[in-house]
Chain A
Amino acid sequence: MKRITGLLLGCAGIALVMSVFSCSKDTTGTINNGSGADAQDSILLNLGYNIILPSYQSLADTVNSLDSAITDFNQSTDSAHLARVKTLFKNAYVAWQAASEYDYFGPATDPQSVLKSLNIFPVGTTQIDNNIANGNYNVNTAANIAAKGFPALDYLLFGANNTELIVDYTTGINASNRKRYLSAVAADIKTEVNAVLTAWSPQGGNYVHTFVTATGNSAASGLGLLLNSYNQDFEILKNFRLALPLGKFPIGSSLAIQPEEVEAFYSGISVKLALAQLKAVQGIYLGTGAQGNGLGLRDYLVKANAQYNGGLLSDTIAVKLATAVTDLQAIPDPLAVTIQDNPGPANAVFAETQKLVVLFKTDMPSALGVLINYGDNDGD
């Protein structure tokens, strides 16, 4: 057993040597502000406090205004109040897009406030009509996933012309039930969004602290969580905002354009919404948020000196994002009409998002040693 004792002494010795070394390492790390550990922290800090929190704050503000405007509209149901509700709806929907990049981790995945459930499209119009008719429903349940959130409001507020809508909400059959449904959907959005904001806020659950202090590159680190969520959200732009209505998916043998599959079919603001999402994606990448320019995902790539096709990966992504924003901006709303008259530009943007998916999902995580997994497993 002497050998065992020897081994233990040896281990202790090595540990001692390592800890002595580590002291000197720590000092160099602190002095050198440009060190990886340090930079990583400040990128997460900027993302957490200057981009994510303000995005949720703005979403909550717009959603709260929308909810009170709907209360007003239900009391004085006229075209002036309807117009106000419509404007605030668009603002809130745009704000949702700018926060959807964080839908797949943290408070936005809490079972009581799954934020991505607020935007399941296409909307279940029959289900909404049935809910209104029988007046018996709970909006925040899995059964009503296609009858709630922004797509439901899109249908309830834009499903007919203004004159017809006023009639529907005043003298039409089930008018009072309809008002009740409208406010139930708005209230549900408000509750879920505010729950997520509270959970992120330093004054509430302070998840922002958890996020910015989870340094490193594991699946549970701030960077790992954000990159995975960012990727999933971006694929929704490519797959559901563009590919699905453009008829890119093989459904049996019919592959026609499907305009009714667009997001915000009734209000016709699909491009506006897609643009809001793409700009948010770009903001997280560049580090630009409510507080102006800061550190973003790009700075991780600069630090890692990641290469792409003879140049820098950080520049390639920035250029391709800018191109996609410009090209998407040039497409006129409503998208449902545009893709039938002239699908070319939308197809071009789709192709650009496809290239970006490769860069986001393959090049970026690989250059940073982050696993894009959405799951868990060992490696060897």
Chain B
Amino acid sequence: MMAINTHGNHSVMDTMKNVFKREKHIAPLAVLRIAFGIIMFISTLRFLLKGWVADFYIKPVFHFTFYGFGWVRPLGAVGMYIVFAILLLASLCIAAGFFYRVAITVFFICFTYIELIDVTYYLNHYYFISLFSFLLLLVPAHRYFSLDVVRCPSLKRTLVPGWCIAIFKAQLCLIYFFAGLAKLNADWMLHAMPLRIWLPANAHLPVAGPWLIHTWVAYVFSWAGAFFDLIIGFLLLYKPTRSMAYLLVVVFHLLTGWLFKIGMFPYIMIAVTIIFFSEAWHQKLIVRLGRLVGAKASGMEITTRSYRFSFPGLMYGMLAVYFVFQLLLPFRYLLYPGKLYWTEEGYRFSWRVMLMEKAGTTFFYVKDPQTGKQGEVLNEAFLTPMQERMMETQPDMILQYAHYLHDVYAARGVHDPEVTVKSYVTLNGSGSRLYIDSTVDLAKQKESFFTKKWILPFHNSSDQ
């Protein structure tokens, strides 16, 4: 996507046409489908085995919802486990290409539903999985090397329009590039924050550990990380550098996975970036996989059959809207005043990964306006430790919780209680400072896309 900008306008159109409309072999799509299905099966199983379904979705009495999605509720114990069982089954069906269209659609809906239940557990890579499964449900990834083709051979196709593969490359390039752009700020580049805090904390690790205590190592990691994110998309797109680039992807993600607690993210990225390899590479891989499962050689057909979309114009329109949205969303923070890391207005859904060491403590006060009596809320009565921790550094969650407390104490007989907070937050080693205007009755503040005036400004003499 990015590389074409180097050409003139005329040839841009030509290249776009070439990339999007020219027919490509379907093999990369089939391999991507298998890789995605397997890694999602492992992720879901791991989530279940860690007991997180109960911890995250069954035990909490209150859930933080996304603005506009307050109607999304958890289903209760049985319902939640059924949803996860469906995810497991759907992942396997996706990998095998068995009733693929149904499986990927169900996967997309169930996964996105789970992510919408509670903001607390928002992770960039969960957002990525939702997006990727959405893109996967648009393409005929099951029309080759799949149980659907075994079940119904007439489904088989060997060629797809180029865009079916290009959209995944584009999505991945966007993610890496935006992740790189997000690192180009004073905290990351000039102060090596937060790696300066995080790396020395890993000094006990074998091999690299003893080096991590040095500040210059944090600078090397910061600059190398930013450079990697900015350039890796281009290196993966450009054939001569592709193999080296994939090796870099593997090393980079394994290293971050080893140093930080980021779960499945590294493995998901390693699995899906194989889409950048050539058609021939994927065809050979499929021949090998075919031999493993005892299928007849299917990579070297002489006859070709093209897959044609019924309404290509509609598809192009939808994809155009999707990618314009993807391009603009990470820049929405520019519409808000103040320091982004501090206010977090426009922070999510922007591929800002591992950028902040942020922590807070928030005391909530409920006041009876009639008697003037005020008391401090014991947060543990309403929130799990993780919910409390995430809420304490994110103003929209602080507001939601304040509204919830208003309702709880109103139900307990306090007439229209006022809710105020004393909130302290530290950001990238700044030392804790007051975060929210402690005089504002949050029960009276409304959530909206407008800036939250009750967030106090971040005064940091060492930064700007």
Please report A residues at the B interface, Cβ cutoff 8 Å.
1, 3, 6-7, 10-11, 14, 18-19, 21-22, 25-26, 28-29, 35-37, 40, 215-218, 221, 239, 243, 247-255, 304, 306-309, 313, 354, 357-359, 361-363, 365-380
Contact = CB atoms under 8 A, between A and B. Distances in A.
Interface residues on B, range: 35 or more
Contacts of A249: 375-378
A107 B239 CA distance: 57
A372 B389 contact: yes
Contacts of B212: 36
A22 B207 CA distance: 5
Given A249-B376, A357-B361, A380-B124, A375 B384 contact: yes
B326 interface: no
Contact of B431 (A22, A309, A378): A309
A35 B121 contact: no
A84 to B, nearest CB: 39
B426 interface: yes
Interface in B227-272: 243-244, 246-247, 250-251, 260-265
Nearest to B125: A380
B425 A367 contact: no
Contacts of A369: 194, 197-198, 200-201, 357
Q: Which 5 A-B pairs have the closest CB atoms?
A: A378-B263, A250-B375, A29-B210, A369-B201, A215-B204
Contact of A6 (B55, B243, B260, B385): B243
Interface string B424-444: 111001111100000000000
Given A216-B204, A378-B123, A250 B409 contact: yes
Contacts of A309: 431, 433
Given A3-B243, A369-B201, A380 B414 contact: no
B208 A25 contact: yes
A307 B430 contact: yes
Contact of A368 (B201, B371, B373, B424): B201
Nearest to A32: B210
B363 A354 contact: yes
A6, A215, A362: most-surrounded residue (chain B CB, <10 A)? A362
Contacts of B262: 378-380
B276 to A, nearest CB: 12
A379 B265 CA distance: 9
29 contacts: A11-B247, A14-B251, A21-B211, A25-B211, A37-B210, A40-B204, A218-B261, A247-B375, A249-B377, A250-B409, A252-B412, A252-B413, A252-B414, A308-B432, A309-B433, A313-B431, A362-B392, A362-B424, A366-B358, A367-B429, A368-B201, A370-B201, A373-B386, A375-B384, A375-B385, A378-B265, A379-B260, A380-B262, A380-B265
B378 A380 contact: no
A253 B368 contact: yes
A253 B372 CA distance: 10
A371 B360 CA distance: 12
Contacts of B354: 379-380
B402 to A, nearest CB: 14
A247 B374 CA distance: 10
B452 interface: no
Contacts of B391: none
Given A7-B247, A37-B204, A248-B376, 13 more contacts: A7-B246, A10-B244, A25-B208, A37-B203, A215-B204, A250-B409, A359-B432, A361-B361, A366-B426, A371-B261, A375-B384, A378-B261, A378-B262
A251 B375 contact: yes
A372 B198 CA distance: 14
Contact of A362 (B244, B264, B374, B426): B426
A253 B385 contact: no
B201 A35 contact: no
B375 A248 contact: yes
Most A C-beta atoms less than 10 A away, residue of B209, B260, B262, B371: B209
Contacts of A304: 197, 200
Contacts of B371: 253
Contacts of A216: 201-205
Nearest to B392: A362
Given A37-B204, A307-B431, A372-B359, A253 B247 contact: no
Contacts of B353: 380
A82 to B, nearest CB: 38
Given A22-B208, A40-B203, A367 B378 contact: no
B366 interface: yes
A378 to B, nearest CB: 3
Given A308-B432, A366-B359, A378 B264 contact: yes
A318 B361 CA distance: 19
A57 B136 CA distance: 62
A250 B197 contact: no
A28 B243 contact: no
Nearest to A306: B429
A304 B213 CA distance: 10
A362 B247 CA distance: 38
B374 A25 contact: no
